[in-house]
Chains A and B, each alone.
Chain A
Amino acid sequence: MTDLQLVVAHAAKVALLALIAGIVWRGRARLCWSFALYALAILLGNILVSLWPSRFLTPSFWMLKQGVYDILKMAIALELAFRAFAAFPGAARTARAVVLALLTLSTLVLAFATPVSSFRTLWDWQPSVATAALWLLAATALMVVWYQVPVHEFQRAIMLGLAPYLLVFVVLLGLLRQYGWGSRVPVATAEALAYLTLVVFWSWAAWRVDMAPAPPGRSA
């Protein structure tokens, strides 16, 4: 780990603490429990790797934490879709069908068209996982706008932040594949900077005060 990477990792740690504090203080956890878990998992991973690199900055730990992050990212996408359409039975039927189709397609691609996951060939399988999560988010966003379903600003911020980051992640993996392991330092630094930007954006969204109209019947 270079000095710059260490500085970025510590800055991300501070931003993650601000994010988690915002989630707790503003009561955002109930808007997406998976996201709260994801933030905690990221913080834990960050602490372990940056404070005890000799023990945790290893391929096997990277595989473990990335697996947990991937599962939580999928859970975030599914929970956001579920929460957005929970109050709208008509739209929820369509949402269920679309999400099920995407999940089936992703599972088939991951099972039959993606090589077995290993650290040495992470560019072969990680982009498929990231793309699947991104498309679940995109499908949810499209349906939210199509049906004019209200989603909370924080839920919107989760999607608006995660999607560009996943795109950057996929592109960086492409670069890593093209230039080989020799390029891992600049690629990892760029990824860490992108992630820091994402967490700062999420922290801002978590602390932001949101206003909503009064409940029905209380105004003319």
Chain B
Amino acid sequence: MTLEIALSTVGCALLCYTLGRYNRTLTLQRWHFVLNAPERQAIDSLRERMQLDSALARQAFESAGHARESERHPDALTILRVALSILEDAGADRLTRLRAMSVYSRMVRAIKPLPPPSARPFRGAELRAAASVAGLLHRLLVGAEERFRLWLLVLGLGVRIVLRGGRQSTEAAARAPQRPRPWEAFARGMDDFDALDSSHLTAFEALVVSLSAVDRGDRLRLWEQIAGGSR
């Protein structure tokens, strides 16, 4: 009896906590956006955003480099931290989108296949190792959906690795501003972030193409099924 009371209490608490926080309007709005989004426009707008993030971070990093060459170490560190904060904001945006992509990928019956993850575009050792392992796992998985979600997992992991590396490099640069190694590591991290962005865009494109394969009639039917019964 005690076991049943304990199990019921845990089950009830889980249910009330999760469903209590559940926001149907927000969930419907997300699905509404997915089913409404003009495909090409969504891809172009994401590409522009990624280019802007990359340009801003690189500009800040180069300015920090110039300040360092001019022996203005405090200025160099301040600007390097600005470059890091740009990467952190961009990283948070990428992680949010990856989570959303993982959710929406479950809606489509078939997803455009992606090539296996590869270590080639990356420079950081950790990221290269993660991509290599994911490349092996990709061959073991059968479904395109599972492979797609593996991609998303690798991309999320990659963003976290790059951001952690960026923070460590900034701290190391603050401790010893003359040493070139932290700056080189930060530059490698930015290259890796760009490579991750490129893969992110490829995955986003694959998802959008797969979503657009659902024709208008099916979208309306799906919407009816999702949002039906509203009175």
Contacts and interface: CB of A to CB of B under 8 A. Distances in A.
Interface string A203-215: 0000001111111
Interface residues of B, number: 47
B213 to A, nearest CB: 14
Given A150-B28, A150-B31, A216-B32, A167 B106 contact: no
Interface in A33-56: none
A131 B103 contact: no
A130 B24 contact: no
Nearest to B19: A141
Contact of B220 (A91, A153, A154, A215): A215
Contact of B36 (A31, A88, A209, A216): A216
Interface in B65-98: none
A134 to B, nearest CB: 5
B148 to A, nearest CB: 10
Given A134-B12, A166-B12, A213-B29, A145 B19 contact: yes
Contact of A167 (B8, B20, B225, B230): B8
Given A26-B231, A31-B229, A148-B27, A138 B106 contact: no
Nearest to B145: A90
B105 A90 contact: yes
A131 B11 contact: yes
Interface stretch (A5-13, A60-68, A155-163, A194-202): A155-163
A159 B36 contact: no
A197 B45 CA distance: 51
Interface of A: 26-28, 30-31, 86-91, 123, 127-128, 130-131, 134-135, 137-138, 141-142, 144-145, 147-154, 156, 159-160, 163-164, 166-167, 170-171, 173-174, 177, 209-217, 219
13 contacts: A90-B107, A131-B11, A141-B14, A145-B18, A145-B19, A151-B22, A152-B24, A159-B19, A170-B4, A174-B2, A213-B32, A215-B220, A216-B216
Contact of B11 (A128, A150, A163): A163
A205 to B, nearest CB: 12
B16 A160 contact: yes
Given A90-B105, A210-B231, A137 B15 contact: yes
Contacts of B223: 215-216
B20 to A, nearest CB: 7
